[in-house]
Chains A and B, each alone.
Chain A
Amino acid sequence: MTIDLVIRQTLQIALVVGAAPLLAGWIRQCRAWLANRVGAGLLQPYRELFKLLRKEPVVACGASWVFIATPYIAFATMAVAGAIVPMMTSRLPLAGAADVVALAGLFALARIFAALAAMDLGTPFGSMGARRTMLVGFLAEPALLMVLFTPALISGSTSLAIIVRQLARHGFILYPSMAFAAAAFVMVALAENARLPVDNPETHLELTMIHEALNLEYSGPHLALIEWAAAMKLFVYIGIGVALFLPWGIAQGRGLATLPVACALFAMKLAVGGAGLALIETLLAKLRLFRVPEFLGIAFLLAVLGLLVRYLVGH
């Protein structure tokens, strides 16, 4: 392992951890603009995190170690997931440690811990949130895998680095199958990140919340870690989307010279992705909880259609 690789990996982790709140701020700002509001500015999430981190840690009575460990596990899982996805460069030492399936597994690990922590106190809202999270999770997982299968079949491997290399090598080509996969991926990403129309990140409405019900009992630094992890998850998801569907411009070479350009390109893609997400969230209304399986079912169907179309037309 050369020093070059270590620098890349460290840079990547620093980027994911450091820039994730910025992306969250950008999305909020876009939503504010779309709703004709001024918005709180791009840096608002940092201020919130900083404020939470400074507070005294308070833990509910009767909480076990599962409850206390979960914020750290969530944070670490998302940071590791961010370390694996090729964002600026496909040459990452950790990229060989996990492919897309393992990435989905890492998300599942975080989800299971979040659900267990929510059940730890035995509050009704907590277990309701746990149940709903697991519901969305087990429905989203097959859809996500089907989405990932199409690029995996095109490139012959489930490794994200190889997918990026294969797709980027052929130049700009329209893959009809990838269009389907992209549509399905957006739907899955919305559901997995607790965004509209599956969950509303802005409210704590008792009877409809999913993600917020999970971290009701957290406060101070623990809450900061969880919120940070959620921002990183969204960041990583958009990163996966970029790697799969817009891989052009991700640096392939060995040197560090190409990184600044790749970084700027990636920032642009992220900005576009975030704005798109804000647009979707502005246009859609929240679905009833029991329409969510239908929503994810359609995502699954789209992904499968992509797979079939790929088989039919050969690309």
Chain B
Amino acid sequence: MHTPIGLPWELLLSAVVLWSVVALASLLIPHVPRMAPAIFPLGALGALLTAGAGVLALRGPPISTVSPLGLPGLPFHGRLDALSGLFLLLFGVTACAISLDLAGYRAREHYPVASRIGLQYHILLASLALVFVAADAYSFLIAWEVMALSSYFLVVTDHHTPVVRSAGFLYLLIAHVGALAILAAFAILAAHAPAGAPLALTFSALRATDPDPAVAGLVFILALIGFGAKAGLVPLHVWLPEAHPVAPSPISALLSSVLLKVGIYGLLRVAFTLLPAPAPWWGLITLAAGLGTALSGALLSAVQSDMKRLLAYSSIENIGLIVAGIGLALLFSAYGLKAFAALSLIAALYHCLNHAFFKGLLFLGTGSVLHATGERNLGRLGGLIHRMPQTAFLMLIGTLAIAGVPPLNGFVSEWLTLQAFLKATALPRPYLAMGIPLGAALTALVAGLAGYVIVKFYGIVFLGRPREAKLAQAVESGPFERAGLGLLAALCVVTGLWPAGVIALIRPAAQALTGGEAPVTAGDHGARIAVAHAGYAPPLLWLALGIIALVGVLVLRLRSSGPARRAPPWNCGHPVAGARLQDTAEGFGQPIRHIFAPFLDIKCRRPGLDDPEPRYEAAVNDRFWEGLYRPLARGFEAVFAGARVLRPRRIAISLLYVLAMLVALLALTP
């Protein structure tokens, strides 16, 4: 490095170098077991460096750089602007917590497995950091592919199980369909560069191309498909509930918290910085896709009985809410309402941060539960709050955060989203001004469903009585794991209690993308945020709640000495029989199945009257499998069966095909 490239870049590059070194060092773990304890803490250090780079980038002007690496004439371009900075921050702090958890997780893995996870995980981290700062299509796609491949290997860590392999294959397949769409988007945009200019591959050159509206629309749709596949947008979400549960839990946390956000980052990058001003229909499509995704995710997560699948569908739901916010921002931008666009974008980005924190927390917590009990099925868990009190407390914070209740962080982004929806009446088209506030109702419904889902999750896993005898042996998770959980829980609390500070961090990114100043004001020394005179001050609420609860406790405790007397539960006079009589996950989801039956594909088996062994079974399948993917697969099979007649019997004819193709392509090239 002969010229100074700025502190953020130095931090970021040192993190990438550190991760690369650690990745290589992981290979040596089986041979030098003594270095194993240092691997993941070093990864966490790199993550902290990245977060620092992100904060600096958010506060300073954008810094571009050209690296000496790359193809001749096509070096790698990098740019650290506010958007990159925000996502680097999100990625850095989440990855730090996950690395801490992995440091504990590693302790119970065999060295070969730990070595493989260490290698792939740190490559994934390095590629993720590069995706967020790549500033030309070529390096972006390279980092993107490295990210997809390394995460694939992490998903199939447990590759001896067929389920895991097929889930991994699905993940890889959809990742590649998405990558193709992104490639096509960049290629089309590059092809519309002004005549005479060199091939436009850097983002600044792509921005300078001025495609006509139809082309811009096509590029936008391709980007939505490509990045939507990564983010888990319905109907491209099917890989997500397969891949997230089979990966090791810290990896699920990383997939859910950070990798889904890469899709969001890409969508924002293309839609707001590479393309010209959006058309209204972009916003409408994005909004509809987001709301549809949110609703499907919420409904399907309500009927799951595997705790990781439940969380995976819940991730789909949250991604839907984020994308809906982006859609709203696009719509406002299309009509020139820049300030409102910035408000919607702040809501969406705030939710990105929140989701990274609370979903990471919940997935890491599930990992601890899985480790302590060996059980993923909700129907075989229960009562863990007595066995794992600290994990249970931290998970309760995540639960309240994801349920979107004050004073935690999930509520802040919900509040901002609803305020943004209220601004939709400013849109100049009556249809939109009348129809879009309904989106707010859908958001509220989804938030309510999320509360339902998470009460089911927490209540069945941690509360009640243990449903299996072996749960009595469950032990509290280790210190590293609790440190990871604690970091994320603390982040949930901080982003919930201090929204003005978080918005001050996000604001530059939203402003850079939309060119507008969001009408969110901070007051009372940052304790309060307000939109259109409607304020929300979580510290004050917290304080008031705390004081009143404390007074209640003091008043009641003054009179009684010692703890309350314990007695058997009353239960309406019925004796409380075995733990299996408790509500199951299926039972808890039954009202949802009943109400939303037309939207779900339910396979239900009821016992007959004279059944010797009566069993009730209900399974809910994703409608998109039967409705979209299986017909698609059958269609492909039919097409390829038809193409089989073209298959030549002699090799010479095969070569003839190649020759003909080559000639045809050369003839077509202008």
Question: Are the C-beta atoms of B422 and A57 separated by less than 8 Å?
Answer: no
Q: How far is the CA of A73 from the CA of B605 in the complex (A)?
A: 41
Contact with B along A142-174 (1 / 0, CB 8 A): 111110010011001111001000000000000
Residue picked from B444, B534, B576, B581, most chain A C-beta under 10 Å: B534
Q: Is the interface of B mostly helix, strand, loop or mixed?
A: helix
For B537, the closest partner residue in chain A by CB is A97
Question: Are the C-beta atoms of B560 and A135 separated by less than 8 Å?
Answer: no
Shortest beta-carbon distance from B187 to chain A in Å = 43
B92 at the interface (CB under 8 A from A): no
For A312, the closest partner residue in chain B by CB is B434
A99 at the interface (CB under 8 A from B): yes
Question: Are the C-beta atoms of A127 and B535 separated by less than 8 Å?
Answer: no
Q: How far is the CA of A157 from the CA of B385 in the complex (A)?
A: 42
B548 at the interface (CB under 8 A from A): yes
- Which parts of A80-123 form the interface with B (CB within 8 Å)? 80, 83, 94, 96-102, 105-106, 108-109, 111-112, 115-116, 119-123
CB within 8 A of A221: which of B556, B576, B582? B556
For A127, the closest partner residue in chain B by CB is B583
Q: How far is the CA of A64 from the CA of B465 in the complex (A)?
A: 11
- Which parts of A260-315 form the interface with B (CB within 8 Å)? 290, 293, 300, 304, 307-308, 311
For B547, the closest partner residue in chain A by CB is A76
CB within 8 A of B568: which of A60, A125, A130? A60
Question: Are the C-beta atoms of A61 and B541 separated by less than 8 Å?
Answer: no
Question: Are the C-beta atoms of A304 and B438 separated by less than 8 Å?
Answer: yes
Shortest beta-carbon distance from B298 to chain A in Å = 9
Q: How far is the CA of A99 from the CA of B529 in the complex (A)?
A: 11
Shortest beta-carbon distance from A127 to chain B in Å = 3
For A117, the closest partner residue in chain B by CB is B463
- Using A125-B571, A217-B569 as known contacts, say yes or no to A119 and B532 having CB atoms under 8 A apart: no
B284 at the interface (CB under 8 A from A): no
Shortest beta-carbon distance from B463 to chain A in Å = 5
Question: Are the C-beta atoms of B422 and A216 separated by less than 8 Å?
Answer: no
B253 at the interface (CB under 8 A from A): no
Question: Are the C-beta atoms of B535 and A97 separated by less than 8 Å?
Answer: yes
Q: How far is the CA of A71 from the CA of B553 in the complex (A)?
A: 10
Residue picked from A75, A141, A307, most chain B C-beta under 10 Å: A141
Shortest beta-carbon distance from B408 to chain A in Å = 9
- Using A73-B549, A137-B448 as known contacts, say yes or no to A122 and B582 having CB atoms under 8 A apart: yes
Q: How far is the CA of A158 from the CA of B421 in the complex (A)?
A: 12
Please, which residues of chain B bring their CB within 8 A of the CB of A120?
A: 385, 459, 463-464
Of B157-165, B262-270, B588-596, the one with at least 4 CB within 8 A of chain A? B588-596
Question: Are the C-beta atoms of B382 and A122 separated by less than 8 Å?
Answer: yes
Q: How far is the CA of A128 from the CA of B433 in the complex (A)?
A: 41
Please, which residues of chain A bring their CB within 8 A of the CB of B456?
A: 131, 134
Question: Are the C-beta atoms of B540 and A134 separated by less than 8 Å?
Answer: no
For A62, the closest partner residue in chain B by CB is B465
Q: How far is the CA of A112 from the CA of B451 in the complex (A)?
A: 7
Please, which residues of chain B bring their CB within 8 A of the CB of A311?
A: 425, 430, 433-434
Residue picked from B415, B549, B553, most chain A C-beta under 10 Å: B549
- Using A142-B445, A307-B437 as known contacts, say yes or no to A293 and B549 having CB atoms under 8 A apart: no
* Size of interface on A: residues with Cβ below 8 Å to B: 85
A206 at the interface (CB under 8 A from B): yes
- Which parts of B352-407 form the interface with A (CB within 8 Å)? 382-383, 385-386, 392, 396, 399-400, 403-406
Q: How far is the CA of A137 from the CA of B452 in the complex (A)?
A: 8
- Using A94-B544, A128-B583, A142-B448 as known contacts, say yes or no to A64 and B552 having CB atoms under 8 A apart: no
A68 at the interface (CB under 8 A from B): yes
Shortest beta-carbon distance from A150 to chain B in Å = 10
Residue picked from A116, A130, A307, most chain B C-beta under 10 Å: A116
Please, which residues of chain A bring their CB within 8 A of the CB of B415?
A: 101-102, 105
Question: Are the C-beta atoms of A304 and B441 separated by less than 8 Å?
Answer: yes
Question: Are the C-beta atoms of B544 and A134 separated by less than 8 Å?
Answer: no
Q: How far is the CA of A120 from the CA of B594 in the complex (A)?
A: 25
Question: Are the C-beta atoms of A125 and B572 separated by less than 8 Å?
Answer: yes
Please, which residues of chain A bring their CB within 8 A of the CB of B340?
A: none
- Using A66-B396, A109-B400, A304-B438 as known contacts, say yes or no to A162 and B544 having CB atoms under 8 A apart: no
A77 at the interface (CB under 8 A from B): yes
Question: Are the C-beta atoms of A157 and B448 separated by less than 8 Å?
Answer: no
Question: Are the C-beta atoms of A64 and B386 separated by less than 8 Å?
Answer: yes
Question: Are the C-beta atoms of A130 and B459 separated by less than 8 Å?
Answer: yes
Please, which residues of chain A bring their CB within 8 A of the CB of B571?
A: 123-126, 216-217
Please, which residues of chain B bring their CB within 8 A of the CB of A106?
A: 405-406, 541
Enumerate 16 A-B pairs (CB-CB under 8 Å) in ascending A order. Answer: A56-B560, A75-B549, A96-B528, A97-B541, A101-B418, A109-B406, A112-B403, A115-B459, A121-B576, A131-B588, A146-B444, A159-B533, A221-B556, A307-B434, A308-B434, A311-B434
* Nearest 3 interchain pairs by C-beta: A138-B448, A122-B464, A127-B583
**A contacts, CB < 8 Å to B:** 13, 53, 56-64, 66, 68, 71-73, 75-77, 79-80, 83, 94, 96-102, 105-106, 108-109, 111-112, 115-116, 119-128, 130-132, 134-135, 137-146, 149, 152-153, 156-159, 162, 204, 206, 216-217, 219, 221, 225, 290, 293, 300, 304, 307-308, 311
